[in-house]
Each structure stands twice: as structure tokens, then as C-alpha cells.
Chains A and B, each alone.
Chain A
Amino acid sequence: MDAGLLLANYPYVFAAFLFSLGWLIILTQSNLIKKVIGINIMESGVFLLFLAEGNIKGARPPLVDPDLTGVVYANPLPSALILTGIVVAFSITALALSIIIKIYQSYGTIYAHRLLRSLE
């Protein structure tokens, strides 16, 4: 693999990095709030992937002007999709945080290893 190719496509590399970082945080961190943060990092990686796909270097925003010809416009679809994705991530975060509040009320801790111990 050519290093220059990776460098030129840095948004994709960064998206993959964020994605992997996110799910590693979810799986390895004991603090439940940190897990929720991990979810948001993971989803940000995916959003970055979509946005990088929609962007074209030197392209105009997709507001079509009939007088101009031969202009390249950026692809608006990925941004629209990601808007939905952000709403989904927001609802997951809200649900997760409300469950964490309930867990704290009934167990008195938000650390996964202590929760495991009290379940046994």
C-alpha cells in the first residue's frame, strides 16, 4: 500500500480510526457514561465517512444556479442521511443516559465491574 494514497484520503483513514476507537471504548471502559461517549465517537466516525464521500474538492454548495454552466456541485445526499444518523445517535444517547440514571438509583454505582459483582 502506497503511503501517499493513505495521506491523500486522510478523512477516510480518520473515520476508520474514530470508528475503531469508539467501539474499543464501549467494550473496554468500565464506566457506563464513558461507554455512551464511546458510542458517540463511533457514530462520529461513521458520519465522517459519509461526509467525506459527499465532498468533492473545489465543488460549490449544491444550490443549483441555472445561469452557471460546467460547475461541479457537492453531493447533498450524504449530509441529508447524516442528519438522520445524528438524530438516531441522539436518541440512543438519551435512552442510554436515562437507563444509567435508573441503574445508579438501584445499584448505587455506574461501574460495570461493580455491577457485575453485585449481580452475582
Chain B
Amino acid sequence: MEADSLPLAIVIFTFIGAFTMPFFAHWQPRVCRPMALGVIGADIVAAAYLLWSVFGSPVIHQDAGGWAPPVGIEIIGDPLAAVVLLLISVILFLVLLYAGGAVEREIPPERVGWYYVLVMLCAGGMMGMAVSNDLFNMYVLMEVIGLSACALVVARGTKPSLTAGFKYLMLTTIGSGFLLFGIGLIYSISGHLNITFAVAGILEAEHSDYLIWVVLAFMVVGVAVKSGVFPLHFWLPDAHSTAPTTSSAILSGLVVKMYILLLVRLLYQLYLGGDEQALVLQRFVLLIGAASLLFGSFAALNQLDLKRLLAYSTVAQLGYIFLGLGMMTGAGLLAAFFHIVTHATMKTLLFLSAGNLTGRVSSRKIVDLAGVGRQMPFSAAAFSLAAFSMIGFPLTAGFITKYLLAMAGLEGGSPWPLILVVASGLLNAAYYLPVVVTMFFGGKAQPVKGDGMPLNRLLPLGVLAVGLIVLGLLPVTGYQIFEQAAQALVP
């Protein structure tokens, strides 16, 4: 079988799944989850095959509908796209596995079928973002993600989730307004929407130095609002903490990072076009990365609500990705890609295990979790492993990110990434360790054997925990995949 048509096929297949599900959601809501699992499961196989075939071989270029670029929409299957496709499908599969029994506790029963439709729509949008090389196509997919993600937040229908969802919708719309305005400017400058052609057009244009400035300013602000980086993060903690557990895992683990892919594809091509002005923007990206890292951690320090703590931690972790991007070197990009995968694994594990723990005590307050670690040893252990990875404990994936980022900084002759990474590790320890200690050593709860949870709500935690350790040991092949993904963008 040829892998050449796979990138588009995966996206179309997921959307077909999403659009046939409403029939079942209305008449046979029970069928929806197995169906979603089947579609995403097939995506895992296809994405793994795609990764295997693009690894070490040239990038796949595909013309949607047979129209060659710059007229048609170009689909690219580079290692980055393959890694992100695999990441999305594996994480979603585990979240969907966990969802059985968990979603019913938080969402009114008549909406459960529709909830899976939204998850699938969001999945299709994210997968499309990974493979698209067309600006307007990316905009439409971003709106698909944005609208379905917003509906995932309000799905619960509780009072706080409604206001959080509305806030999210407003800000994500402002963000996409900025992006669309930037896309309009790119189109008027270069006459193309295909990223490769648009970049060439901008670099050739008259006054391209300050045109790039204006365009990238719109793009960076748009992406920063949509992915929730400091100082534009204020919707994120509300939206991610009031959403149902499974939605929080999808939103925090995957959705916020998809917008960064647009920035990666656009920024690097412009920068490598040899443009001096991009340097100023690079400093700006580094600055928001560092600010986000520090602010997110400090804000997480004084949270009493476990899910809010995790949401602020997402703001901080996005800072790592922006730091890596802002370095504009192959090594920095490698660290950023690695952290996209690592953070998705860690944050999904944290939110899912937190869902188990908070479900037991029926409270999201950290104080109320005292002693729950002795009653649910497995979930609490999984939570602790992810927390240690956040801190950057050796042998976990978090350590590798911090190492890669610090080394990338030192290579570029700057000690700041190293200092920031160490500071952030200490801050992470300051807010994650008290939670772990409270869970295991606080309270008076008697130890019990087993978690008292169905297997489908424990198995995903186990798989993610093993994934963290495997990423932390970083096999050579794994490293080469990321290296190749970075090299495809920064030769």
C-alpha cells in the first residue's frame, strides 16, 4: 500500500466519521462511543504507518482534488505532520476509552451521544491542521476546532462552565479575526494562500521588510490569543477547569498546541528566507514564552482548586513551546516538538487521573483530596508520575524537554533558557509536590486494595504513564524522528 494518499485520507475518514455520527447520536446514542473508538483506532494504525513510511524518506506532497498548488490546497505529510497525527489519535483513543462511564457522570444523558460527535469534529479539525499547507484551509479548520472545543466546554451546562465557555468563544473569535486579517494581508501582498508560495511572494515584494512585520504581528497575536499564552491567557484557566474531565484533557493536551503549528510553518519559512525583521519578532516570541512560563507557574502556586492548578500549569508549559520556537534554530525547534508530545502525554495523564481522584471525593479542592492516594493507589501514583515529569525528574519525559531546551539555548550562546528551565522546575515542584504529599500522607482515610474503578478508567492512565517513561528514556529512533521533523523545517 502506498502512503502517498494517507495524510488526506486520515482527515477525510475522521470527518466522515464525525458527520455520520449525528444519526446515531439522535437514535442510538450507545453506538457513538464504540464508533468513535473505531474511527480513531483506524486513525492510529494509519498514522503509525504514515510515520513509518515518511521516516527517512522524502516529504509527501498531495494535491487535494487533483489541483496542483498554488491553485489547489496542498496537503503535506512531513515527519512533523505524521508525529502530530499519531499523537492526536493515540491521546484521543485513550481519552475516549476513559470516557465510558466518566462522561455520563458529568453530562446529561441525552447529550452524551452528541458529545462524541463534538469530540470527533474537534479531532478532524486538529488532524487537518497537522497536514494542511494552505492558510485559508487552516483558518477554516481552526474555526472547526474552536467552535467544537467551545461546545465541549459548555457541554456540562453548569453555571460556571457557561460563562467560561462564552469567554472562550469571544476570545477565540478575536484570535481568529486577527489571524484572518493577517491571512488577508498575506494574500494581498503575495497573491497566494499556499504557505510556500505566499512566503516566496512576501520575500520578493517591495518593502517586504516592514510588510513581514505587520503580517507576523497579526499572526503571532492571533495564535497567542487562541493558544492561551500570557498575557492573553485569561480565558484558559476558566475554560479548562470548568469543562468535563475528558474535555479538559483534550483541550489542555491537544487543542492549544494545534494553533502553534500554523506559526511553525509560517514563521520558519519567512525567517529562513533571510529576513532581518523576523529577528525582532523572534525576541517577542521568546519574551512571551518566558513570561508565560513564569506567570503560569506563579499563578498555579496559589490555586486551591486542582483543575485550575492544572490549567495554569498549561499556561506555563506553553511557555516552553514558545521558548523553543523563538530560538529559531533546529535544536530549539526539536525541543519545542518534543515538548508538544511530552506535554500532551503529561497533561492528559494529569487531567484523567485528577478526574478519578476528584470523582471519588466529589470535590475539586486540593484540601479535600487528603488521603485519597491511599484509597486509589493506582490513580494517585499515575498523577504523581506525571507531576514528577512536570518537575523534570530524570527518567521521565519532562527531564528530556528541559535538557533539550537548555542545550539548545547554550548552543545559541544564551544561558537564559537554562536558568528559566531550572526556575520553572523548582516552581513546578513547589505547586505539584504539596498536592502529591496531601494525597498520600494527609487525612485519616484507611488504605484500600485497588482503586474501585472500572478497568477502562485505569488502563489509559497506565498506557500514558508507560508512554512518559518511554519518552523519558528516549530511544534513538524516537529522537531521530523528532530530529527529522525539525530538519524538514530548518535544514
Binding site for B on A (CB under 8 A): 19, 22-23, 26-27, 32, 35, 39, 42-43, 45-46, 49-50, 53, 78, 81, 84-85, 88, 91-92, 95-96, 99-100, 102-103, 106-107, 115, 119
Contacts and interface: CB of A to CB of B under 8 A. Distances in A.
Majority SS of interface residues in chain B? helix
B152 to A, nearest CB: 12
Given A23-B174, A42-B174, A92-B147, A99 B169 contact: yes
Contact of B181 (A19, A32, A107): A19
Contacts of A19: 177, 181
B187 A39 contact: no
7 residue pairs, one from A and one from B, having the closest CB atoms: A49-B184, A53-B188, A88-B143, A46-B180, A42-B177, A99-B166, A103-B162
Interface stretch (B153-161, B384-392, B449-457): B153-161
Given A19-B177, A39-B173, A95-B151, 11 more contacts: A19-B181, A26-B174, A35-B170, A49-B184, A53-B188, A84-B136, A84-B140, A103-B163, A106-B162, A119-B159, A119-B163
B137 to A, nearest CB: 10
Given A53-B187, A107-B159, A46 B181 contact: yes
Contacts of A100: 166
B150 interface: yes
Contacts of B159: 106-107, 119
B165 interface: yes
B142 to A, nearest CB: 10
Contacts of B180: 43, 46, 85
B157 A39 contact: no
A77 B170 CA distance: 28
Q: Is the interface of A mostly helix, strand, loop or mixed?
A: helix
Contacts of A96: 166, 169-170
B346 to A, nearest CB: 30
A46 B184 contact: yes
A46 to B, nearest CB: 5
Nearest to A78: B187
Interface string B169-204: 110011001001100110110000000000000000
Interface residues of B, number: 25
Contacts of A50: 184, 187
A84 B144 CA distance: 12
Contact of A102 (B140, B157, B170, B174): B157
Nearest to A23: B174
Given A53-B188, A81-B136, A91-B147, A46 B162 contact: no
Nearest to A27: B174
Contacts of A53: 184, 187-188
A26 B187 contact: no
Contacts of A27: 174
A32 B170 CA distance: 10
A102 B154 contact: yes
Interface string B391-409: 0000000000000000000
Contact of A99 (B136, B165, B187): B165
Contacts of B170: 26, 35, 39, 96
Contacts of B169: 92, 95-96, 99
B154 A99 contact: yes
A45 B181 CA distance: 9
Nearest to B143: A88
A88 B147 CA distance: 9
A88 B166 contact: no
24 contacts: A19-B177, A22-B177, A23-B174, A23-B177, A26-B174, A42-B173, A42-B174, A46-B181, A53-B184, A84-B136, A85-B180, A92-B147, A95-B147, A95-B151, A95-B169, A96-B169, A96-B170, A99-B166, A99-B169, A102-B157, A103-B163, A106-B159, A107-B159, A119-B163
A49 B215 CA distance: 14
A92 B147 CA distance: 7
Nearest to B164: A119
Contacts of B174: 23, 26-27, 42
A44 B162 CA distance: 26
Contacts of A22: 177
Interface in B302-361: none
A88 B184 contact: no
B232 to A, nearest CB: 11
Nearest to B179: A46
A50 B186 CA distance: 11
B188 to A, nearest CB: 4
B184 to A, nearest CB: 4
